[in-house]
Amino acid sequence: MIGIISGSTLGGISVLLACLFVYRALRQRLNARALTIQSPNGIAEGRFVPIGSIDQWVQIRGEDRANPILLIVSGHGLSMGAFTPLLRSWEQHFTVAQWDRRGIGKTLSRNGKANSQTWTLDRMVADGIDSAEYLCRHLGQEKVILVGLSQGSALGLLMIKRRPDLFHAYVGTGQIIDMLRNETVSYGTAIERARATHQTRALKALEDIGAPPYPQVRTWIVKQRWGMITAPEIAAWQSMAPRLILSAPNYSLRDLYSTIAGLYFMPQRFYDDYMAFDARRLGTGFGIPFFVFQGDEDVLTPTALTEEYMATVTAPASELVLLAGGGHMAILTHSDQFLQALLQHVRPLTISNQSASCMAYQARA
């Protein structure tokens, strides 16, 4: 009887899994159809590109490849390709490039964690510059717009300081300023919110690890997890992220695993570099237009720290735009507001830059 019941249960599970796979495949096909670009000068491609001596995944999409290139450098462990549907309207105005750097998404699927003990901020910055140069060569343009999200904003600041000639403008979101202060403030906010909303599991987990700094990366990941769970935006994010990841076109089961696994992986050496990051050490003067579009309710990279920093920034153009109701992931949860800020503040600069480049070329000719 036990064998019969076990066999019956196993059969039921098999049928359920088969149904889930069929449903996922259907959703992938529907999403792929909705994301089809049919404009004559459009581009929709994803490929592995040799970057920093390994193959790294780059996705490029847009309705007109002559539009300004917008390169998104994502946050810790986050593969942005799965969230392409949320940025679909952006592709009318920009050629949007998503880069899965080391330890993220499809690049993690291809390379695993090989040599991760050698990863540093400097290595990632060099990879990011290689990515921007590839996009310029591939699309026949001189510069890109750089958007840095969370950890990607630390990389982004280092990239524009090293190679300002490659970028029309910088746009930070979930902007990292001073990691030590950032972690101290965000930890205190998470504790307060857990108490106020009676999230006892979150409160216990946060109290158990204590306040930062954390010598070990695994402790920081615990803090990040519960900090996100107590954040105001979590309801919108929880309903959005799993659905989009599971139904992402051209994502294999291995890619799905890597997309999730990347969120829980950071080499200790890279972590030590990242925790020591302080944007103020780079100076607050920039040779390119400098913007931050930040959720006004961001509690993981507290908006108050960004406001302090932006008051000291000097650049050819600069602006802090607060996205009403947005949190740390406002670029995705409030993508329409983010796009409007890009169109108002950033895209016009690329048109003037392109005109200046054409005039310089004609003068040389």
In the chain, the percentage of residues whose pLDDT exceeds 70 is: 90
**CA geometry: angle at 38 spanning 36 and 44, to 5°?**
55
Confidence at residue 9, expressed as pLDDT on a 0 to 100 scale: 59
Local structure of residue 213 (DSSP, 8 states): P
Q: What angle do CA 223, 308, 336 make, to 5 degrees?
A: 70
Rounded average pLDDT over 170-198: 96
Q: What is the pLDDT of residues 86-116, one digit of tens each?
A: 999 999 999 999 999 999 999 999 999 989 9
Contact (CB, 8 A) for 34 and 85: yes
Supply the pLDDT for residue 242.
87
Q: Which of 51-55, 155-159, 244-248, 335-339 has the lowest mean pLDDT?
A: 244-248
Higher pLDDT, 32 or 140: 140
Where is pLDDT greater, at 151 or 236? Answer: 151
- Return the C-alpha torsion angle 71, 76, 82, 88, nearest 10: -40
Q: Give the residue-averaged pLDDT of 67-95.
A: 96
State the angle between helix axes of 179-196 and 200-209 in degrees (0 to 180), rounded to the nearest 10: 150
Rounded to the nearest 5 percent, the helix, strand and coil shares of the chain are: 60, 15, 25
The CA distance from 300 to 175, in Å, is 10
Give the domain 43-178+254-364 fold.
Rossmann fold (3.40.50)
| Res 356: pLDDT | 45
pLDDT of residue 354: 55
Residue 1 pLDDT > 70, yes or no?
no
pLDDT score at 338: 98
How big is the CA angle at 132 (ends 129 and 134), to the nearest 5 degrees? 110
**Which pLDDT band, with edges at 50, 70 and 90, does 118 fall under?**
very high
∠ Cα 276 192 325 (to 5°): 85
Mean of pLDDT over the chain = 90
What's the pLDDT at 71?
A: 98
Name which of 28-32, 96-100, 188-192, 324-328 the model is least confident about.
28-32
> pTM, whole model, 2 decimals?
0.91
Q: Residues 47-54: what's their mean pLDDT?
A: 96
Handedness of CA 211, 157, 291, 100 (dihedral sign): negative
pLDDT-wise least confident of 200-204, 249-253, 282-286:
249-253
Give the model's pLDDT for residue 16.
59
Find the range with the poorest average confidence among 82-86, 100-104, 240-244, 289-293: 240-244
- Of residues 56 and 358, more confidence is placed in 56
User: 3-state DSSP call for residue 199?
Assistant: coil
What are the boundaries of each domain within the chain?
1-34, 43-178+254-364
- Residue 101's closest CA among 54, 160, 169, 145? 54
Cα→Cα distances 262→75, 100, 147, 223, Å? 11, 10, 20, 16
Q: Which pLDDT band, with edges at 50, 70 and 90, does 194 fall under?
A: very high
